[in-house]
Structure 1
């Protein structure tokens, strides 16, 4: 009888023990992030292209005229910065909106319940955001080519700074999405942090032409080095230090990725 009573005890389900990487779960999360922005392609893909073309129209055709910067046509100087702006903004938007909407819809459990480690959550959301950033950047690049001749002087710089920027902003989007409790918080990050840093980064002008204190501020702006390095990949001229830009990009990818890992590991604003 005693043995039968013990046999009838129902134990709670135990977590599945994965050794190594849960590749199936990681792939599912990544594909989910990709499908999410493709489903609303008019908003996530077409709209940024229209924005890039409008910037080209205003700053190149109406303002730039026939002048040159760094020995190249103004349109050639501006175009890489516009492409990088789309990479930055779309990578940030993808991961931040995904997590914030999951909070509002009560779907955070769908991410936390599957047997995914904090590192796999970080990689899944970050890679999905980076994919959208690179994809939109590539489409924007094709769209602005009729208005600007873009030689590729240093392909490694285009790839390194483009991919690095997408990962950095994807990770920052994760941090913002976990931190924010309402859409006003996300709008504050975008309007008071991301946009000022982007516009004070030399996208449309040489930073050395800025008055103080904006010139000094720009030299401490990480987005300046991302755009400057990305532009160097096309025109072969850099305004800042490439060594600083390469080192800073690697440090930010690792640093922001580690912060995201710790936020998932501790359940920051996820576990209540």
Structure 2
């Protein structure tokens, strides 16, 4: 196993960082690594916003409710961005229809996600810790206003990066046979349930044995609870208001 794969396999979310800030060189290295991610048709349909203003961090923390939004070495926010593409066009009806399509919305969100994962691996290879922050969509309109985003730009998630205050446990992942199917989708529900039941037992042991935030829970129970409550239902209209994913 080479060092890159070791870094990937050793990933864990870090939610407590020291007070040490990233250097400009570290920030630029992480962003340049993000830029080397694959991108659909060379579009590079994303923008990364680094938030250093403490007032803005405080406002984003109020939206998120997670202290590591403000207490970190550096906060990156990844945005799906078709604004620069819009600026380069003749603004014809055909162009507008293309930019506002579901396909281009997918392109922009995938481009941003690929860039973010490159950034994460780069940061971890430098001995830093990371945590993704989807919680910034708890009030996506307010996040948009704080960052002063124009049309065709959507804040997708944050990425808190910094020096870990302590080592955290690595969280288990689903069995490979649940995730990886050959040639077609595996619709053998009985087999899937068997594998997931085994994983539930494993994750229960993990939660009982970890050093902090011990609890009794299963993966299946978490999923059932997640989808039994409607959250962030304003995101759909927000995206359309930003002139994206309209058709």
TM interval, short-chain normalised: 0.3 to 0.5
- TM (norm. structure 2) is 0.32
Larger radius of gyration: 1
Higher helix share: 1
- TM (norm. structure 1) is 0.30
